[in-house]
Structure 1
Amino acid sequence: MKYCHIKAKLLSPLLIQRQRQPSARESIEYLPGSTLRGALAAKFFLVRGGPDHKDFRSLFLDHPACFPNLLPADEKGERLSRVLPMTGISCKRNSGFKSEGKHGVKDILAVNAASRINDKPADESFWKCPECGEDMKPFSGFWNGDCRSPRKFEASSLYHRHTGIDRDTGTIAPSIFFMDQVIADFRKKDDKSEEYYPQYLSGSMFISDEQIEILKTLIEDSVFAGAERTRGLGELALSIEEMPYPESDIDSWNEQFKKLLRLFTERDVSANTYFSIKLESHAILTDKFLRPVSDIEEFSSPEFVQILKMVKPQVIRGWQSAWNMPKPDDTGLAMGSVFLFQYKGDDPEHLKTFLKELAIKGIGLRREEGFGRISVCDDLHIIKEGI
């Protein structure tokens, strides 16, 4: 399997509806893996053949590739975006990274973990902005993952306004007006700049050599995704290239995290081994009876102790083009959810191998649609000061 960077350049605005039947349609800020997978499957039917074709079975059915969410990226789409963890907080008056002229971002994983260890509430002063003294609130979205030069990535949006047409006169009908909020196919360098760049979305995936060759035949020209495709929306230029896999240094992260813990607790944590899990996409976790749960089954053995979790429920909706009907709703955990574990075992090399394999294959259901992707030991958790 190869680790590849997949990039989408928007050739027209993109609409991925947040709600199924809203009064005003609003797009989410990224291209879900399930939508990308469906768009490529539709393209295969158009140019290659039906579901019995051996290449279709290789890419989508027998050993399916797990298509990622494509998140807002930089001006050239070269930098992989990361999901901000739910432990990130920033000033409610001027939220954002200091490198972008804002009041900075802090992480509360170590503070909350120490609170659990001490069995008492954390100091409320930690939730005050060091710049202005205002409260700090959760800071969500996507960023470049670089603590030395952090930058938040946001997709530009447009509003498409529509009027109703009178069937008798062929002119605008009175009292019928609606609009769509879509991801724009361009972006500004910043709020004050008049420079415009193409809008890129990017993600990463593990894929075999055979599947790469099949995929390249589908992305030689434009692919259409999302809603309102008959009106010209959702045209994408896709590309894929191999890149090195960024492995996590669990030992270094563990030592840095314990240094932070010692600032908030007097208990001895020097002999403990900690690691964190962050959901890079929504995850559908179930028990053996397929009931929704909020715990990761792979960490249910006695050698893992869950210290805390910061999670949020998420209703997962979708559309099945083959049925021309909506998919059944699933209840899962939202991207950005964070788990902190302590490892009680005596084989650190086994732990590293286990976590790497889990990051590759993912967790939960519908992983081929981009759900259940995780990252291990996010660097934002070990920053001492705001960035």
Structure 2
Amino acid sequence: MTTEPNLPKSIIWRERPFPNSNFLLLLGEQPSLIDSGFVAHAEHTAYLTREFTTRLSWVANTHWHSDHVGANAILQQAGAQIAGSHSDAESLFRTDPGCCVAEYLDQPVPRYTVDNPVGTGDRILLGDLQWEVLSVPGHTPGHLAFWNAEHRLAAVGDTVTAHDVGWVNVMREGTRALDAALDSLGRLQALDAQLLLPGHGPLVTDPSSAIDNAIGRLERQRTRIDLAVSHGAKRILAFALMIHGGMAASALDDYLTQCEWAQDAAAVVDKTVAEFSRDLVDSMLRGGGLTLRAGTLYAAASSSPVDPEVFDLPFPRAWPQHPGQENRTGDRRHDTKDDTNER
């Protein structure tokens, strides 16, 4: 693994298949990792990091989805500090049930905390370079990007990729989330970056065109909410099938009936969950997003296998509280509609 030729030598980049985010290591005075992949491959992420440095100062998270924070816990235990958005930091401190959207999406996340909350205008030394923090809500409310003006580089997480745009949770947040995502893309476009380092897929070598395409896609979703629901649902379901190693077609309806995201998506488009599930799977099979082999549905995109033991991890509602937490926050805030379900 080497750095890309159009990146500074201190930046180590590897495109990784789902369910991991890309590997982005910044070497120098403060060796730092931007995002840390999925929990099932946390040890491998740590191993990749040790190939280049014996010390990791920071893990800077663009956002708190499971495929971006999965190695946070073991890297934090080994001495790395975690940087993340203020909203994510507060929710994690309170151990809100909605942390990392883990329970909502049925995605395992190991418990971690944010040591250094950051927001727009803050500057942080990652590796040998100064990076400005940008708030780019949309894909998640607390989503961040990191901008290096010297090399005109932006690490953008799931805000935009070379061929896609991050799904927006209109099922929970409505069209205001699409408005926020469009505003974030407009501010990224104004940077006039030479290169974008996305959370998934290849380096974005033509940022202007990629952002224009993403804006167009979100504008269409803004006028047709069903397109926004479909965009998100397809990506959530594909990820679920990746981390579960596929799922029997006969069991999928029952699985989706238990998923809050599917319940919400069906309600937005005025369907039953069964109708929504059938239409979603049919659409993905026709479009090539899913394959059916011997009665089992699989995500078509390449992915790394996942040890099923990761599903033994507790959801955030079961994470132990910090000393003095009750005194600071009083009653715990609950971000999900039903607080009775356990994994």
Choose between structure 1 and 2: higher strand proportion.
1
Structure whose alpha-carbon radius of gyration is higher: 1
Choose between structure 1 and 2: higher helix proportion.
2
TM range (shorter): under 0.3
TM-score by length of 1: 0.22
